A and B are shown apart, each in its own frame.
Chain A
């Protein structure tokens, strides 16, 4: 195991930022920490990168204790914070040199690790970091976090607000780094990225309530899930929520997803009921749950 977290608590005044958090991240895998704004993802990353102290509990990174052996950990980990935190007034190349020299290495020494990424920003190496686009800043930040060949890489919402093309390129890069044996912890609010992780932990209100592979999480979905559409999608949402057998109902793009709490209810029965409410072109189909359905179900308090 590359990261082992046991019973971590962290309070800010009356706010329980982390409440008895336990999880492990295997070596050489991509572990995703998935959860809403304010769930505690950043606090957890800051504890593991030895930037803040937990109130209680223990955590090991590559076998070292985050409190007693923090100096060793600082050499081992790479950290890409959620907010761009490089030197805006230094150029691309200068930023990279600063990070290399702080870790007592050179750009050349670990060039193979960052080559793919750095090549894309090299044409702008004399540009000030503050003047880069979002996608380019993100590539530079990743290069800086990798320059000392960390064994564990912490990426805090690396793709939030980044456009879909750069986001896809970014995940391709992470998959290649995995091939180099680097363990990665990534937090993200994008549910479709959860599926790209080897395992994911779902976190809400400071508690991790499930850690497993994306496949197992989807397989463990315990509800009855239907996709429903009609000619009047907005009214449909309100009507579905009035039906006594509908536990949770939420918009899901071109259809609404409905979790049914009465196993006796058949799709045809809901179809007939909706027709009575004046809906036309109705479609009710049982479907397989995705990660997003699992998240909504598990966090609703109704699972």
Chain B
């Protein structure tokens, strides 16, 4: 299978501070890739570079075949992005939110309406088409935000802590949506603070002090460290961190 994300010695410095320190990894098409790390480890900076929002100081990155330093617009068109902090416009209806994002991502005008219905029925949400987003429960908003982030059929979707504050039942429904998209060939790059969620990923990387301290399948990481859970692996690796989030 193709590598849709290739990071090679990717580095970002802010003045004398090296936020991301020579990281290298590849992510395959259709893979669910978990990107873990404590606050301040450099996750957000790395993700911003991969999304074409911030230029690397050195090193190279290819996302969907485009150079993240020189082809940022093409990168942005090939990816979807969803963050827990900001996802949808509360004062717009469900269909209006979809219409807005579809327009921004340049989905052909004629396709928007039929695809909206198709998407909403696939998540059992057609009856809420005219509902204002602010009156939806949090879990529903997040499922909707995810579906919107892949509405323009990107090759890769970046999810930044998508499930914060969601109850266990809804969290599972959310992961089922992620599984379905991965089955359809969409690559999922996800950060999370729920370490048990790392177990849903095909592979997991753990960042410590700007570097990738571990990268493997969840099963292999647990085996190598001789621990019973990703939670234990994580605390073992981050215990040695010198960088403190302030």
Residues of A at the B interface (CB closer than 8 Å) are 35-39, 123-124, 132-136, 157, 160-168, 189-192, 233-235, 237, 250-254, 292, 295-296, 299
- Residue pair A251, B170 in contact (C-beta under 8 Å): no
3 closest A-B pairs by CB: A253-B199, A36-B167, A163-B39
- A132 to B40, alpha carbons, bound, how many Å? 13
- Name the residue of chain A whose CB is nearest to the CB of B222: A254
Looking at the complex, which one of A38, A165, A252 makes contact with B238 (CB distance below 8 Å)?
Answer: A165
- Residue pair B235, A37 in contact (C-beta under 8 Å): no
Q: A37-B167, A160-B164, A189-B165 are in contact. Are A250 and B231 (CB under 8 A)?
A: no
Contacts of B161 in A (CB 8 A): 161
Chief secondary structure at chain B's binding surface: helix
User: CB within 8 Å of A: which of B167-208?
Assistant: 167-170, 172, 175-176, 179-180, 182-183, 193-200
- Residue pair A133, B165 in contact (C-beta under 8 Å): no
- Residue pair B219, A254 in contact (C-beta under 8 Å): yes
Contacts of A132 in B (CB 8 A): 246
- Residue pair A163, B199 in contact (C-beta under 8 Å): no
- Residue pair A161, B193 in contact (C-beta under 8 Å): yes
Nearest CB in chain A: distance from B33 CB, A:
15
Binary A-proximity of B227-246 (CB < 8 A = 1, otherwise 0): 00001001100100100011
- A192 to B182, alpha carbons, bound, how many Å? 27
- A111 to B207, alpha carbons, bound, how many Å? 36
Looking at the complex, which one of A36, A133, A254 makes contact with B39 (CB distance below 8 Å)?
Answer: A133
Contacts of A233 in B (CB 8 A): 179
- Name the residue of chain B whose CB is nearest to the CB of A189: B167
Contacts of B196 in A (CB 8 A): 191-192, 253
- Residue pair A165, B38 in contact (C-beta under 8 Å): yes
- A266 to B176, alpha carbons, bound, how many Å? 27
Nearest CB in chain B: distance from A170 CB, A:
13
- Residue pair B172, A234 in contact (C-beta under 8 Å): no
B59 CB within 8 Å of chain A: no
- Residue pair A162, B193 in contact (C-beta under 8 Å): yes
Looking at the complex, which one of B139, B197, B234 makes contact with A37 (CB distance below 8 Å)?
Answer: B139
- Name the residue of chain A whose CB is nearest to the CB of B198: A253
- Residue pair A251, B166 in contact (C-beta under 8 Å): no
- Residue pair A251, B200 in contact (C-beta under 8 Å): yes
Q: A134-B39, A163-B39, A189-B167 are in contact. Are A234 and B231 (CB under 8 A)?
A: no
Nearest CB in chain A: distance from B188 CB, A:
12
Q: A234-B179, A237-B179 are in contact. Are A36 and B245 (CB under 8 A)?
A: no
Contacts of A165 in B (CB 8 A): 38-39, 235, 238, 241
B56 CB within 8 Å of chain A: no
Nearest CB in chain B: distance from A205 CB, A:
12
- Name the residue of chain B whose CB is nearest to the CB of A160: B165
Looking at the complex, which one of A35, A38, A163, A235 makes contact with B193 (CB distance below 8 Å)?
Answer: A163
- Name the residue of chain B whose CB is nearest to the CB of A191: B168
Supply 14 further A-B pairs (C-beta < 8 A) apart from A37-B165, A233-B179.
A36-B169, A133-B246, A135-B39, A160-B165, A164-B195, A164-B234, A164-B235, A165-B241, A234-B180, A251-B175, A253-B196, A254-B218, A296-B169, A299-B169
Looking at the complex, which one of A192, A250, A254 makes contact with B199 (CB distance below 8 Å)?
Answer: A254
Contacts of A299 in B (CB 8 A): 169
- Residue pair B179, A189 in contact (C-beta under 8 Å): no
Nearest CB in chain B: distance from A208 CB, A:
15
B114 CB within 8 Å of chain A: no
Nearest CB in chain A: distance from B1 CB, A:
15
B137 CB within 8 Å of chain A: yes
Q: A165-B38, A191-B168, A295-B168 are in contact. Are A136 and B246 (CB under 8 A)?
A: yes
- Residue pair B169, A37 in contact (C-beta under 8 Å): no
- A299 to B139, alpha carbons, bound, how many Å? 16
